[in-house]
Structure 1
Amino acid sequence: MTGCALPKSPVRATVYDFGPGSLSSPASQAAPRAPLGPLVIGEIEANPALDSTAILYRLAYADAQQLRPYAQARWSMTPAQLLRQRLRAYLGQSRALLNPGDSTLNIATTHTLRIELEEFSQLFEAPNQSVGLLRLRATLAQPSPSGEKWVAQHSVIVKRPATSTDAAGGVRALTAAADAAVQEIEQWLQPLAP
């Protein structure tokens, strides 16, 4: 009888990230690319609703304006931090990456990449169908004697289907969307910041 009176241990939230990333070094990959010029990657700015570790979803078929958090699932870092980590891992395979304020910056030649994360959620189009939706704006700038000079701006919208209608399915879809967005940014940058 006393076993029934013992308090239950609290349920812990499942913690997710984007996974381990590439499991081979750039040198072991097939066609090596010529090294590109250095790039400064600023902190990624995010919509205030995304400035937490909550894994968010929307029910587009019921109320697309409401962001809802999964109760027992969360990210290991904010989505902006996860995206910046993935961006640095991918872009760092072909160029030197610097942080704002690094003392090694060459003011005349180093471009700065800024990202604004606008949407990062699992979007349910129907009760049994969802996608990972990522929307961001990338801005490339270059310092000049009179201040920063705007070079180009690019909007990225990526949707990837979820394999299940739960947090785990949303995480997989959002990870795939983040990887696709990073690849699109890298292709956009190549002619602009060689």
Structure 2
Amino acid sequence: MNALKHSLAGLAAALLLAGCGALPDKPARAALYDFGPGSTPTATAGAAAPRALPMIALAEVDANSRLDGTQLLYRLGYADSNELRPYGQSRWSQPPAQLLRQRLREALSAGHTVLGPEESATIARTEGRLPDTLRVTLEEFSQYFEAPDRSVGLVRVSATLTRSQPGGDKVLAQRSFTARKPAPTQDGPGGVKALAASSDAVVAELVAWVDAPR
């Protein structure tokens, strides 16, 4: 009898272990990405102070509905470039428009006092000064596969620089910017690196354009 009990107990344990092994794994958590830490300057003795440029108001970066979420998107240019496809296990920590605005604000701050919309309104109300406003629209932000073994981070924005006047805003300048940087690997992480590099290139062009004499 005891032998039978031991056999039954062993069989039950084996069945339990087999059942546990058959349970599905937990779904993998999507990896979250951003553009990295950005510039991390160190203090240098005798370094020249940044030039003092006029204050500038930076509006929120607009984006079309396709780019409102946090999905990492790609296009297969060699198959159907009109279809945007999301990676399943790679996501941005914030919508791309917000990540781009953070990078742009950081770059502009090297020479300007950068104001948000509310700060700009406060300055106008309390001091009577109306800083120029930079408005940016994010139009394309995807990993673009030119071939199965070759892709780039494709970033395209349009920018408008305006000046507030009693009769309404005056457009000082308007321009589109596009950058394409190669992806080191043909997957989500490679797309992240390419899109971060393309974003930095667009930001550098934007800042140079804003700072150009008019």
TM range (shorter): over 0.9
- Alignment coverage as a number of residue pairs: 192
Q: CA deviation at 1:8?
A: 1.6
Q: How far apart are the structure 2 equivalents of 1:107 and 1:187?
A: 27
Q: How far apart are the structure 2 equivalents of 1:114 and 1:192?
A: 18
Letter in 2 for 1:160: K
TM-score, structure 1 normalization:
0.93
Asked whether the 8 Å contact 1:53–1:79 carries over to 2, the reply is yes
1:140 aligns with 2:157: no
Which of 66, 87, 96 pairs up with 1:49? 66
1:110 aligns with 2:141: no
Asked whether the 8 Å contact 2:123–2:129 carries over to 1, the reply is no
Asked whether the 8 Å contact 2:123–2:130 carries over to 1, the reply is no
Q: How far apart are the structure 2 equivalents of 1:107 and 1:184?
A: 31
Which of 91, 101, 110 pairs up with 1:74? 91
State the superposition RMSD in angstroms: 1.7
| Higher-Rg member (1/2) | 2
Task: Indicate the larger mover: 103-112 or 76-85.
Answer: 103-112
Q: CA deviation at 1:2?
A: 3.6
Asked whether the 8 Å contact 2:71–2:91 carries over to 1, the reply is yes
- Flag the structure with higher strand content: 1
Which runs of 5 or more residues in structure 2 are unaligned?
1-17
1:9 aligns with 2:65: no
Change (3 A) 1:88 1:109: same
* Aligned pairs (5 A) from 1:31-180: 32-102=49-119, 103-105=122-124, 108-180=129-201
Identity of aligned residues (%): 48
Q: CA deviation at 1:23?
A: 1.2
* Aligned pairs (5 A) from 1:22-37: 22-24=39-41, 28=44, 32-37=49-54
* 3-state secondary structure, aligned to 1:134: strand
Asked whether the 8 Å contact 1:108–1:144 carries over to 2, the reply is no
Which residue does the alignment assign to 2:212? 191
Letter in 2 for 1:162: A
Which runs of 5 or more residues in structure 1 are unaligned?
none
Change (3 A) 1:138 1:81: same
Which of 35, 52, 59 pairs up with 1:18? 35
Offset from partner CA, 1:112-157 (integer Å, 9 cap, x none): 0000110000000000000000011010001000111111101101
